[in-house]
Amino acid sequence: MMSRGESPPATTRAYRPRPGATWWLRNRRYVFYMVRELTSIPIAAWAVLFMVEVSRLQNGSAGYQPLSGPIWIAFSLFCLACALWHSFTFLSLAGRIIRVPRGERYVPPRVIVGGMFGLMVAATVAIGGLLVMGGR
């Protein structure tokens, strides 16, 4: 015990509990956040494999052996689902993140989210059109 006139020790430390490895499983919102963040891993893996495929094209048609087969197709479909989930959940948050001033008020979040989804659809259609036309 401290007597009157004594000051506390100069090196006091606050107790900081360390969260466990499964801290994010306690709240449904945290689970969705972590799942969204984890979807970037297969997307990155697919992108790396795609870049390897593109680099193989330098050797000409003789050295190019494209990935194919049911495993590659299943992996690509899984990565597509991950990319769509990641995009949907990220764009759904855009209204909370982006603030566009309009006079004394801000543009409503619903308008921002709608605009983001509209831009995503427009970009998808434009890129799809270029791919279908074959770059002509």
| 9 occurs within a structural domain | no
| Residue 1 in this model has a pLDDT that exceeds 70 | no
Domain count along the chain: 1
Per DSSP bridges, beta strands 101-102 and 105-106 are antiparallel
3-state secondary structure of 105: strand
**Is there a domain that residue 7 lies in?**
no
pLDDT at 115: 93
Domain of residue 62: give its range: 24-133
Among 51-60, 94-103, 116-125, the range of highest mean pLDDT: 116-125
The yes-or-no verdict on residue 19 having pLDDT over 80 is yes
With respect to residue 17, please indicate whether it lies within any of the assigned structural domains.
no
Give pLDDT tens digits for 110-132.
Answer: 999 999 999 999 999 999 999 89
